[in-house]
Each structure stands twice: as C-alpha cells, then as structure tokens.
Structure 1
C-alpha cells in the first residue's frame, strides 16, 4: 500500500494549494539530493515530488480524493461517465500503473516528465542553478562529567571532531541535560546559517555519591557506639564536607536529610543530600575492645531479632 500523499507532505486533507506548496518547499529544502547526501534522501524526494504533483493539480487531486491509490486508473472524464452511469473507475481504461515524477537527478527534473526546480522555487536557488540558502543540521555530542564537575560547573575546553570549543557548564547540570552551542553544528549551504551543537550531559558513576535528579545519597559509616549514643560527624557532599547529627539509637539504613546540600539548581531550590547510616564494626578488635564487647554481651538484654 502506497503512503497517503497528504501524509507524505504532512498536510491535512482540506489543505489549500498554498499550504501544499509551502509544505513541499520545506520538505524539498531538506531532502533534495543536492543538499541531503543521505542515500535515502533521493527516494524520499521522489515521494514528496509525486505527492506534490498529484495534489496541486485540481483534477488529479479530485480523483485521488475519490479513488485513493487507484486514481491513475481512472479516466479524466470519470465524472461525466459516472453521471452517464458508467460506474466510476471500472468504466475507464487503466493507464498502465502509477506515474512517478522526477525519476532521475541532474536533468531529470525539467521538462514534461519532471518539475523545473528553478521555476518552482524561485529565489530558493542561486542564479547558477544550485540550491539556495539552507540551514545546517543540528548536531549532538556527549559531554561526560564527574559528579563534582556537574556540581561546580565552570568553563571547560573540549575537542569534538577535530574542533576545539570553550564551554560554559552551568553549576548543577543533571544527567541528560543539553547544553546548546549556537551556530556550532552543521554548516549551512548557500550562505544558510549553521545549525547548533547540543552537548548531552552524561554524569559518570561515582564511588561515593548516588544521584537521583538533583538529590544525592551518600553512605555514612558510624561505629556501634556512635549509632547507640548519637554523635555529630562530618559527611561528604559534592561541594565539600558538611556536619550531620546522628540521633541516638540509629541503625543501618536510616537516612538523614541535609536540606539544600544536593545538586545546585539555577532556576529553583537545590536538591537535598541524604546520608544513609551504615553501622560498621571493628574487624580486628583490640584485646580491650573485645573485653568491652564481651561485657556488653553479658550485661545487655537487647535482642535485635525480637519482634518489636
């Protein structure tokens, strides 16, 4: 089944002739093989060209709207035949298949078998017959950052595709965010403007910090006595150490929230930092430590496996 010609041009079925022509001009700028070197561009342009020819001829468009892909098997006087009771497309003689417009490039777009590009596009083409100004394509590249670099931001020199760029990284960029470098993308043709280059931020995994948007989680090791008695300790953040109060009776897995100590946000509140407690025991206790733990075991009635 052939694609719907209205779909090919991206217009509605009630589009005006001007809308169809504008859609064709836009698509032709993008897919004309003098501009687009993608191997599939030629076939795409032929499809666009065919749709344009069918939908800009009032009689052909009327047949297409009535009979769909069989429009070219219907005689031009089908309306008269229908009025005389001939029964529509079966009253006509097949034309021998669909007509394709602009089958070749170079000279194949002129004359009766194709379209005259210069007549159709006018000032879109240069006086020498070449394709006129066309904007360059936007491009993307991955920008890898550490958590600390994403937190601080700042200027950075990059080399992409043999070209050097000075990039201003905003403080608090997050994974997947795009940084736009205006006019640094693909070159335009015929004095057309260059496209933009977008740097897509990828924050590398960190041995200590875990990111969830702008929130940061970090493990906070504490000793058994600190967990039982409570204490105030330093906790690392991407911007440096901060102080956190460990409440008495804290167990592994308890999360302590430090508001605003996560990733910065230039357009709103910063993220939070969560210090997740991990109770760590000495693996090689001294004789005195072992003695104290044995005394605690003998005196304590605490059973961590008892339901509470």
Structure 2
C-alpha cells in the first residue's frame, strides 16, 4: 500500500487554512474533471483530488491524518503505525456507500473499512433533536489491566477549527473504570460524555474501544493468551518442571519428555478472565546454547555421535 500526501496532491502547505484547501480543491477539480479535462490521466487525478479533499476538509480527519506526521513520502510503502489513533475522540464522518469504491486502500486503512471509523459508523445526518451525538475513541490498556480491572485516568484529544481556520487539538481527562475480563474490540460506554445536547437536551454518550498495548511476553486472540516459552534442548528431551509467567502470576508447568518444538500446552482458564474465562497456551520453543569453549564443542560432538540424528532426512538430505 502506498502513502498518499494529501497536501502535495492539492499543492498545499501543511499549515493551509480551510479557505485555502477549498480554493485548491475547486481549482484542481475543474482542471481534472473527466467531462471537461483533456489530460490523459484526468480521471485518476480527479479521484486523488477528491480523496485528498475528503480528508483535509474535515477537521477530525485532517487532525487524525496530521498525527501520522510529515515524515512519509508519496508513493512509499506504508502501513499505519500500531495504535496510531489511540486517544483521538471521533464523532463519525466516514464515507458514504457511493464514495466507498472511489477511495484508495490508503484512505480505507485510516478512515474506512478496517480503519479509523470501522466500528464507529458514519456521522448521522442532523435531524431536529435535542440529544447530543455520541462520540468514539480507541484507548490502549495493558493486558494485565484486563486481568485486574480497576480505575484508570485517560486523556482524549479532539480537533476543533481555530479562529484562523486551521485544526487545533484540545484535550480532556476522564476517569474510566476498566471492567475485569474486557477483551480487545469491546467498548466501554460513558453515559453523558459525548457531544452536548441542543437546547439543554441530554448529551450523547462516549464509547471507548479497547485495544491492548504490545506486550513483551504475551499475545492475545479474543480471550486466548499465548506465551512462547524458551527451553533448553535437554528440558525438551528429558522433560522438566519449570515456572511459567502468566498475567495473573507464575505457575508451575510440567514439560513432557520428548516434546516437539512448537508444541502447545494448555493452561485451562488462565486466559482473559471474562464471564467464561479463556485459556492460555504455552508454546514450547527450543533455544540452543552456543558452543564457545572446547568443552562445550566436545559436548556437541558427543551428542552427534550418540544420536546419529539427521535433521534433514525428510528432505532427502
């Protein structure tokens, strides 16, 4: 997937105000409109211009896009950085069904299917209603927070248009109760923390979608937790009793003799402690010690002679 520099597409500086963005769009849209343009790549350029304007005209999309920074070049390989949109309060504003096929994979990765607004839906069209709209944000917690639950303070950012017509970031801090057993993708609802109501009406709600911070030991799939456990060759071959870390505290684990590298051992109910707890799987990984001394090299030679083992026999080697 290629990175798109929306400012470059519209021939703008990154600090352009909303009036400059609108003028640049109108000029280029007229130039590349397929019905009137004689440019050979008019249709493709017209799509690019519309996509760039879709992002830069919307203060929320623009502020989110700007969070990626200006260190990327148009056309370079790109994947959104992990948790790039954490803590950004979003009010909707995805694209319509009519637009969805016109925009690039880059746009979709940030704002569309599978991206920034995937679970947040499109902005509802304003109708006469006194109730404020709901707002949405993603927050990242530690895996251990899901095991323990408890209160946490979070800071959310959202964009507003400043007096100069450029997006400005504002922050607010909230106290949030993390439910024990929450999994990635689940939402916490904070009643009354969305947009203010109109004419004294009820405010909307704030929905926080949960993701987990990267962990040095564990990875998760839904309620299941995985740990890769390093073992010496003799522990794999002879079996052993070892202490294994879990997010809920260490446990003793018996390694069966002659286990295969990659074998999974299940710790029932040691996954995320939801209403129906998940399991934890310990994946056995053989770690070969280096042979740095004469004695260590001799030990490996003796192993070679004792086993007459051909690791590549299945390959015909």
Task: Report how far residue 153 of structure 1 moved.
Answer: 2.0
Alignment partner, residue 19 of structure 1? none
Alignment partner, residue 221 of structure 1? 230
Task: Report how far residue 258 of structure 1 moved.
Answer: 0.7
Q: Is the 8 A contact 1:155 1:167 kept in 2?
A: yes
Q: Is the 8 A contact 1:132 1:189 kept in 2?
A: no
Q: Distance in 2 between matches of 1:195 and 1:210?
A: 34
Alignment partner, residue 304 of structure 1? 311
Alignment partner, residue 184 of structure 1? 193
SS at match of 2:226: strand
Alignment partner, residue 232 of structure 1? 241
Task: Report how far residue 305 of structure 1 moved.
Answer: 3.4
Gaps of 5+ in 2: 1-91, 94-126, 158-170
Task: Report how far residue 250 of structure 1 moved.
Answer: 1.1
Task: Report how far residue 133 of structure 1 moved.
Answer: 6.4
Q: Is the 8 A contact 1:139 1:197 kept in 2?
A: yes
Q: Distance in 2 between matches of 1:218 and 1:132?
A: 53
> Rg: which structure is higher?
1
Q: Does 1:148 align with 2:144?
A: yes
CA spacing shift, 1:285–1:243, aligned 2, 3 Å: farther
CA spacing shift, 1:142–1:229, aligned 2, 3 Å: same
Q: Does 1:273 align with 2:269?
A: no
Q: Distance in 1 between matches of 2:300 and 2:205?
A: 65
Report Cα offsets for 1:87-117 as digits up to 9, x if no partner.
Answer: xxxxxxxxxxxxxxxxxxxxxxxxxxxxxxx
Q: Is the 8 A contact 1:150 1:203 kept in 2?
A: no
Q: Does 1:167 align with 2:176?
A: yes
CA spacing shift, 1:297–1:133, aligned 2, 3 Å: closer
Q: For this pair of structures, how many residues does the alignment match?
A: 178
Q: Distance in 1 between matches of 2:301 and 2:187?
A: 58
Task: Report how far residue 158 of structure 1 moved.
Answer: 1.7
Root-mean-square deviation over aligned CA pairs = 2.5
Q: Is the 8 A contact 2:291 2:297 kept in 1?
A: no
Q: Distance in 2 between matches of 1:226 and 1:238?
A: 24
Report Cα offsets for 1:132-188 as digits up to 9, x if no partner.
Answer: 861111111111112222332210012224332111101121111100111111111
- Of structures 1 and 2, the one scoring higher in RCO (CA 8 A, sep 6+) is 2
Q: Distance in 1 between matches of 2:252 and 2:294?
A: 32
Task: Report how far residue 274 of structure 1 moved.
Answer: 0.7
Q: Is the 8 A contact 1:144 1:204 kept in 2?
A: yes
Q: Does 1:137 align with 2:133?
A: yes
Q: Is the 8 A contact 1:132 1:190 kept in 2?
A: no
Q: Is the 8 A contact 2:194 2:203 kept in 1?
A: yes
Q: Distance in 2 between matches of 1:179 and 1:285?
A: 54
Say which of 286, 289, 299 aligns to 1:292. Answer: 299
Q: Distance in 1 between matches of 2:193 and 2:209?
A: 14
SS at match of 1:293: helix
Q: Distance in 2 between matches of 1:234 and 1:289?
A: 26
SS at match of 1:190: helix
Gaps of 5+ in 1: 1-37, 40-130
Alignment partner, residue 203 of structure 2? 194
SS at match of 2:145: helix
Task: Report how far residue 203 of structure 1 moved.
Answer: 1.3
